[in-house]
């Protein structure tokens, strides 16, 4: 707004600039949600949902395949933390490049919050990658899918949320289905290791908390996805680098990977690139629809990842996988229903009884007439 004073005529001229000129880049980005150059704010909620879901499924299915492919390299299973270090380095680079493409480059979330998010991210991805050295891939994915209930508990204690019966039923169905899957896997292909179970369980706890912390921070400070990725993963990179240096685990990993650069660093680059694209869509889901729905979508993606894992990598099979998978699908349906209860009206038991009684009365009246 420009103010012009003229002493001779004694008036004030007020000039109001156009809407686009008046709004700073920071203000313009409040309602804009941009993912990989796509401004999702231009679409309605349903279209935003399908775009995010498509991005999550496409990129993370490729991500899962590459992750299992990397750990199929002979001798690599003991270097899960180094893979996480390389992955965090690529993520930080990708986040920095994306941040340079947007107008507002200011950091909005406090540094202490990022230090917490980075710690949880390291726990989630580092422990998850390391657990693959002790567990087979489907079992690891199944354990990760069980975070739905911890996410709900985190929503209650961290954000003070309250969930309805449908949400709780969805979490129970999905968890029971995944537990059944795990039991079936342990029966026909026992490849369990206590260390792997502990690692993936700790990763599960960190993963359950991080979605709620990210959602609360992004909504409170209105941070962009690229900012969240850049700062959380760059700080996490420092954490892992210090940890590997202190434990003398850095040099053996570098030596091993330098002997197989294409199958390690080459796969890791593609693995990180698809993971970065995927996490961008996951963060958009969290920001638009909340952590619970984001977890539901990623859980469905993990179920598809398991199917592809059986298709591309040789593993034993049992139909218990199918039944447990159907139970997971039921849980996903219940969660989707809980989010659209005002649009989807399922008939209640009392309504069905009343309808049956009305139909009998109508038939009796017709016979009487």
**Secondary structure, 3-state, 62-129:** HHHHHHHHHHCCCCCHHHHHHHHHHHHHHHHHHHHHHHHCCCCCCCCCCHHHHHHHHHHHHHHHHHHH
Percent of the chain with pLDDT over 70: 73
Would you give the end-to-end CA distance of the chain in angstroms? 80
How far, in Å, CA of 369 to CA of 365, rounded?
A: 6
What pLDDT, on the 0 to 100 scale, is given for residue 131? 85
How far, in Å, CA of 138 to CA of 184, rounded?
A: 11
Beta bridge partners of 306: none
Query: In which band, very low, low, confident or very high, does the pLDDT at 345 lie, cut at 50, 70 and 90?
Result: low
- SS3 of residue 160 by DSSP: coil
Structure tokens at 272: 């990180």
Query: In which band, very low, low, confident or very high, does the pLDDT at 101 lie, cut at 50, 70 and 90?
Result: confident
Helix axes 225-246, 111-131, angle to 10 degrees: 60
What pLDDT, on the 0 to 100 scale, is given for residue 24? 32
What pLDDT, on the 0 to 100 scale, is given for residue 362? 55
Measured in whole angstroms, how far is the alpha carbon of residue 152 from the centre of its chain?
A: 14
Check the CA dihedral 85-134-178-143 and report its sign: negative
How far, in Å, CA of 87 to CA of 269, rounded?
A: 8
Structure tokens at 259: 């002997």
Closest CA to 50 of 64, 32, 38, 62: 38
Query: In which band, very low, low, confident or very high, does the pLDDT at 29 lie, cut at 50, 70 and 90?
Result: very low
Model-level pTM?
0.67
What pLDDT, on the 0 to 100 scale, is given for residue 148? 65
Q: Which helix (H) or strand (E) holds 17?
A: none
How far, in Å, CA of 341 to CA of 346, rounded?
A: 9
pLDDT tens-digit series, residues 139-159: 777 777 666 667 677 677 766
Query: In which band, very low, low, confident or very high, does the pLDDT at 107 lie, cut at 50, 70 and 90?
Result: confident
- SS3 of residue 207 by DSSP: helix
Cβ atoms of residues 59 and 298 within 8 Å: no
pLDDT tens-digit series, residues 259-296: 888 888 999 999 899 988 888 888 788 878 876 677 77
Helices (H) and strands (E) in the chain, counts: 16, 4
Cβ atoms of residues 99 and 53 within 8 Å: no
Helix axes 45-71, 137-145, angle to 10 degrees: 150
Greatest C-alpha distance within the chain = 98
How far, in Å, CA of 86 to CA of 279, rounded?
A: 16
């Amino acid at each position: 707004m420009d103010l012009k004073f003229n002493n001779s005529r004694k008036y004030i001229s007020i000039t109001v600039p156009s809407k686009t000129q008046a709004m700073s880049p920071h203000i313009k980005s409040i309602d804009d949600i941009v993912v990989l150059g796509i401004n999702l704010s231009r679409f309605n909620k349903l279209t935003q949902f399908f775009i995010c879901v498509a991005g999550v499924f496409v990129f993370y299915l490729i991500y899962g395949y590459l992750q299992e492919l990397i750990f199929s390299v002979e001798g690599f299973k003991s270097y899960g933390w180094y893979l996480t270090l390389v992955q965090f380095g690529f993520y930080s680079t990708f986040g920095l490049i994306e941040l340079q493409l947007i107008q507002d480059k200011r950091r909005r979330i406090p540094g202490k919050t990022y230090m917490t998010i980075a710690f949880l991210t390291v726990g989630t991805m580092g422990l998850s990658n390391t657990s693959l050295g002790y567990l087979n891939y489907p079992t690891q994915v199944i354990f990760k899918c069980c975070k739905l209930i911890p996410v709900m508990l985190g929503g209650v204690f961290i954000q003070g949320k309250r969930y309805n019966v449908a949400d709780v039923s969805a979490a129970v169905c999905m968890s029971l289905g995944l537990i059944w899957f795990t039991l079936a896997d342990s029966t026909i292909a026992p490849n369990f290791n206590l260390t792997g179970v502990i690692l993936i369980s700790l990763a599960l706890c960190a993963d359950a908390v991080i979605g709620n912390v990210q959602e609360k921070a992004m909504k409170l400070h209105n941070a962009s996805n690229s900012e969240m990725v850049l700062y959380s993963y760059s700080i996490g990179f420092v954490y892992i680098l210090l940890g590997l240096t202190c434990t003398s685990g850095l040099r053996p990993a570098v030596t091993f990977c330098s002997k197989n650069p294409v199958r390690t660093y080459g796969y890791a680059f593609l693995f990180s690139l698809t993971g970065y694209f995927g996490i961008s869509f996951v963060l958009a889901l969290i920001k638009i629809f909340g952590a619970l729905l984001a977890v539901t979508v990623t859980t469905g993606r993990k179920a598809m990842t398991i199917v592809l894992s059986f298709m591309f990598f040789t593993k034993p099979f049992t139909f218990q996988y199918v039944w447990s998978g159907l139970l997971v699908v039921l849980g996903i349906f219940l969660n989707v229903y809980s989010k659209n209860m005002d649009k989807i009206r399922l008939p209640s038991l009392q309504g069905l009884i009343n309808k049956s009684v009305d139909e009998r009365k109508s038939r009796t009246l017709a016979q009487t007439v």
